[in-house]
Amino acid sequence: MPIEIERFSPRHTAVVVVDMQHDFVARGAPLETPMGQALLPTLQRVLRHARTSGMRVIYTAHVHRPDRSDLGLFGEIWPAIGEGAALVDDTPGVEVIPELAPHPGEIVVKKHRYSAFFGTDLDLILRSNDIDHVVVTGVTTENCCHATARDAMFHGYRVAFLSDATGTFDYPDRGFGAVAAEEVHRVTLAVLATSTAHVMSADEFIQRTKVE
């Protein structure tokens, strides 16, 4: 049976905003993700709801050291990262875009891989705050959001994946035909809904919040 979340208790829920950074979301950015720009109004509404209801809001930022000593295979997979043109720690490109700027006291977890749990203290932060439900938003659907949702489920969290507050980019032909961002997004949602999370819209998430 797919995972079903009937109600969210704000005291035990965290909204995770994945990688909404300049290097991913700004127009003309090295790793531009156009769907990330389109989802901004929806994600802003989700964050207003989370904050007013008392949920935790946690951001992630994908970064690499300036000397590129922590790249692993990312330098090969993503030339912009390998060349130091994107995701260099302590540069403007890795900052969260101003439309979604963290509020005072909200944590930004720096990560070096797709998953926000891999090599970070995110699990410790969540458990220390009695969080048992994780709401995934941001970019990209099939990479960092997907990996974070999977790892959250592996760690025992009940995961909500917001279909209209996540997004991705077009995929080029690598021998299997080019794939439009909307199709990558749709198929990833279908996979997650079957194996990992309760995939729902922002409106559904808001409607399922328990008043406390």
Which H or E element spans position 160?
strand 158-167
Tokens of residue 181, six digits: 């961002």
Q: Distance between CA atoms of 143 and 109, rounded to whole angstroms?
A: 17
Known catalytic residue at 145: no
Known catalytic residue at 144: yes
Q: Distance between CA atoms of 188 and 28, rounded to whole angstroms?
A: 25
Q: Distance between CA atoms of 212 and 53, rounded to whole angstroms?
A: 8
Terminal C-alpha separation, the chain: 29
Residue among 70, 90, 110, 111 flagged as catalytic: 111
Strand partners, 60: 18, 109
Alpha helices in the chain (DSSP H): 22-25, 34-38, 40-53, 74-77, 79-82, 122-128, 146-154, 181-195, 202-207
Known catalytic residue at 203: no
Residue among 70, 90, 130, 144 flagged as catalytic: 144
Task: List CB contacts of 7: < 8 A, sequence separation 6 or more.
Answer: 208, 209, 210
Residues with active-site annotation: 19, 111, 144
